[in-house]
Structure 1
Amino acid sequence: MAGEIKAVDLKLVGDLFGDGYVMDFTNRTYQEFFRDEVGVDIYDDAYLIDNANSKGKRLRAFMQKAQKGAIVKALNGLWEYRMAYLAGNEDSVLRSRERLSALIERLGGRPIPGTTTQTPEPSAPLRCGPAESTQVDLENEFMGLHGMDDAAQARGYAFERFLKRWFDAWGLEPRKAFKLKGEQIDGSFLHGNTVYFLEANWRNAQTGAGELRSFQELIGQHFEGARGLFVSYSGFT
């Protein structure tokens, strides 16, 4: 399955079904589900990585190791279970059906029933960005950063918040900053089914090649299939 399952796919599956607990499955019902729907024992040692025995971690290992046909069966079954699990409650994952269906189709399966492709009315103009008022607000916010004091990195943090709002305005599903093994990741966003991790740098000095290489190595080591975006206010050397 090398090269088939990307980091963005694993993230989607985790968002839909759970990273630790998987919906309301118990150990017994989880094992029965995979036995009946897929024909595998999800508690086999083949799906145990680094002694991470949670249901979500085993699902992640299964996604990385199993054959495409088995993954398609599991995803279809988990989707049906999720629909019953939500029981009419609001879906917190944007475009969940379309995104999971696209993954299933890429693995050779059929679209999830009910998945539709929306075609705009011929007479309706296509909207290619946020409303003009939103763009004006973002421009004003950006211009306001120039007057901020850079003490205690206040302007840098404000720059991160501005970028998150900018990505959100353009429908790129941004996520907040987090730390990975002591390293700060300034956020992430989704574009074209690919996850981009963000490094935002607002300093008077230009960003050097060493920082770019370090960021590239961090993304490459921990986020297979993802990409990075380094934003430097003063440019690069």
Structure 2
Amino acid sequence: MSSLRSIDLSLIDEVFRGDSGKGWVLDFSNRTFADFFARELEVDIDAPQYAKDGDSKGKRFRCFLGQVDDRTAARTLRVFWEQREALRGVGTPDPMPRASGQIAALIGRLEGTIATNPVNVVPAPLLDTIDFLRLRDELLAVRDLDPHQRGYAFERFLTIAFEAFRMRPREPFRLIGEQIDGSFELANEIYLVEAKWLNRKIGAAELHTFHGKVDQKAAWARGVFISFGGFTDEGLHAFGRARRVIGVDGKDLYDALDRGIGIDQVIARKVRHAAETGEVFAPVSQLFG
């Protein structure tokens, strides 16, 4: 019997739940679910011992994981994670940005090793070690600095915040004829960062300039323009529909940290919103209600 706990099974249920809701696993039908188990794990998931808690795919999945040994449970989670990622597709934001690290950590625990990552898995932050309110207060402290200190301090704050959420930040680097304020990685996508702390809002010209820098990089690079003072409505309208750049303002950062929402979640939700609507900027208050 595996050492999976009820909290682990709840996580598994959430990560692998299909679009059709509770009781479903990914996009499997009953037939393809059984075929997948037989092909990948040489298991008859329709056997009676896996239907003790009910006959839905989700209940059979959890029952199976609760009955097998730890290494079999780990192997099962690996193949199902790889199937999940294949269905999600390259470049599609994960609606659960922390799922990769959570599943990786769970697999590592089951295997009794340091967590090794399934395909496309990167470590996720341990939420109980992130002091959201301390980060919020550090952001406010930047506001109180002398004007000539704020820009550098703001970049340093962002680096610390990105590190807290395991986004693998890279601090400011210079290319020929230009400077990018940094970069980070999220769900295996690279984001270039422009960070501005100004006493005014950003307009279309600055958005176009940053987009031009991003557009000259690899096709998979994206850009995040972080303007503490926000963006003008006219500038957002003139810039047009989102292409490879999304916007974040200071209130987004404050609201997220004040409400205990991860910066990684904010970026993922903004990317999805931009993909669905074409809007470069939507505030946290709108995206998270």
Provide the TM-score with structure 2 as the length reference: 0.41
Provide the TM-score with structure 1 as the length reference: 0.49
Question: Higher RCO, 1 or 2 (CA under 8 Å, sep at least 6)?
Answer: 1
Higher helix residue share: 2
